[in-house]
Structure 1
Amino acid sequence: MLALDMARALDPAILARDCGIEPDDWQARLLRSEPRRALLLCSRQSGKSTVTALLVLKTVLFLANALVVVVSPSQRQSSELFRTIVAFLGRLPGAPRLTAESTQRAELSNGARILALPGTEKTIRGIAGVDLVVIDEASRVEDDLLTAVRPMLATKPNSSLIALTTPNGKRGWFYEAWVGDERWERVRVPASMCPRITQEFLAEELRSLGAIKFSEEYELQFHDPDEAVFPLAVIERAFAPEVLPLW
């Protein structure tokens, strides 16, 4: 078992295969890169939840007493990702056993804990010493959430933050982080990169959703908010970064 753990640690893609998942190339790269701050901009059904669940599994498997917090816009969404994580734990030979489990919490025999919570500033404030925070549907959570999350990681120098989502317009903290210059590992996976999504399915979705919604959900385009009177690009061009003297 020690040799197996060492193999999984050296190549986390083995961890995925041991759970019955053959990772796509981008998933394998992400598992091996061990990002501390990552933004996953991925189309629907591209495998972003799967790879994130594997990253959680990697954390609780190799870090005793680890604390992982999963947040989403709603408890239902957090619970969906939580169930995926617990299912992978059940498939993995030699994984720490569950010693306690509810719809929002799992405790493992090596002392690791996983919490699944709705992503609001009020529900997560006060949690500290977190090794990994996962923000699912990150473009749709409150902007205050990131402010509440960052202090949770303060006492763990090697702690990680992973945000995964599809676009939700040119607004919110995820969009600002994606287009900004802060140091994040940015991973973009449109539907065309997923071998499990057929061209026939995409053609049907295009007819059903229309061009704008399709380009958001599957081609990962950020569009101006519906309520915007002027495109954001026009507004941004109206301002200059330099402040000129009036006289």
Structure 2
Amino acid sequence: MPAWAIDLEHRLATRTETATDLLWLNPGRIMAQSGLTPDPWQREVLESPARRVLLLCSRQAGKSRTAAALALKTALLEPPAEVLIISRALRQSAELLRKVRELYRGLQQARPRRPPPFRPVPLRQLDAADVCLGPGEQVVQQSVLQMELANGSRILSLPGSPDTIVGFSAISLLVIDEAARVPDELYRAVRPMLAVSGGKLVCLSSAYAQQGFFYHEWTQGAASWQRIRVTAQECPRISPEFLAEELAAMGRRIFDREYGCQFTGVDDAAFDPGTVARALSAPAGAEAPLF
């Protein structure tokens, strides 16, 4: 029996079933309650007990939504959790946190499949969209880049810069979005955040050049990494007709990188990942990034 199922049995034996218990029973409910049908690989990510996960994914397969669901699951099930999502740019960070909020609101409609009946009970009404999911599970504060729950958990979604990220500690879950385009110095700066907490590290990305930490960990990294690969052909929402059009439009090499999870040679990239990342972020006190 999976570890999460064993823990569920203990939870149900000691207290009344809540939405939190339902998530332990079926973590995919986080997405299903928002009208999304999680793919098998998305369920695998949400249910994985591995502490180190690499997700190599086709464009538009749903990796950002998966990252949002994993962040919300951790915040609800492991209070008081510190969840940190790192993206390349401010716009991506804000979009990821927006997806977390959407999934949270979808859980308001959660109902158990068996007695006792469950009703969301508000602890402190902030607005019509923020309703308690169970004891201590209500949004008490949210901003563009932060969402805090009454159970003590906090989700932060920040643009990545080694100068501004350093300082966070006791991280329960660290997610690096589009990791293949994140500079190595940022990766080295955030790993120590997990030293004391023993937190989980998830790096997700589409393929890019044959360089950088994500490529290295995918091809030569330790066996402790769980590696999950999802091509466009494995995504039911991407039609064969669309892929045929894309292949004709962009050519085999770029198509295989964007949709086939194949890393391309360094010469295929106009700029290295570090240069791109520095253009999308700015150090503390500097002018706004270029993009």
TM norm structure 1? 0.87
Q: Aligned pair in 2 of structure 1 residues 72, 176: CA closer, same or farther (>3 Å)?
A: same
Amino acid at match of 2:209: G
Cα shift readout 1:75-110 (whole Å, capped 9, x = no counterpart): 111221111111111111226222111111111111
Q: Say yes or no: does 1:52 pair with 2:101.
A: no
Q: Aligned pair in 2 of structure 1 residues 34, 50: CA closer, same or farther (>3 Å)?
A: farther
Residues 98-137 of structure 1 aligned to structure 2 (within 5 Å): 98-137=139-178
TM norm structure 2? 0.74
Secondary structure of 2:56's partner? strand
- Structure 1 equivalent of residue 207 of structure 2: 167
Q: Is the Cα contact below 8 Å between 1:71 and 1:116 reproduced in 2?
A: yes
- Structure 2 equivalent of residue 244 of structure 1: none
Secondary structure of 2:156's partner? strand
Consecutive unaligned residues of structure 1, counting only runs of 5 or more, are 229-247
Secondary structure of 2:24's partner? helix
Q: Say yes or no: does 1:84 pair with 2:125.
A: no
Displacement after TM superposition at 1:70 (Å)? 0.8
Amino acid at match of 2:220: G
Q: Say yes or no: does 1:152 pair with 2:210.
A: no
Amino acid at match of 1:212: R
Q: Is the Cα contact below 8 Å between 1:78 and 1:136 reproduced in 2?
A: no
Return the alpha-carbon distance in structure 2 between the equivalents of residues 4 and 124 of structure 1: 32
Q: Is the Cα contact below 8 Å between 2:79 and 2:151 reproduced in 1?
A: yes
RMSD (Å), alpha carbons: 1.6
Identity %: 43
Q: Which of the numbers 7, 24, 27 marks the counterpart of 1:9?
A: 24
Q: Which of the numbers 89, 97, 107 marks the counterpart of 1:74?
A: 89
- Structure 1 equivalent of residue 79 of structure 2: 64
Cα shift readout 1:124-182 (whole Å, capped 9, x = no counterpart): 1011111011100101111011111111111112x111111111110000000000141
Cα shift readout 1:40-72 (whole Å, capped 9, x = no counterpart): 100011111122211111101111121111111
Return the alpha-carbon distance in structure 2 between the equivalents of residues 142 and 70 of structure 1: 15
Displacement after TM superposition at 1:225 (Å)? 0.9
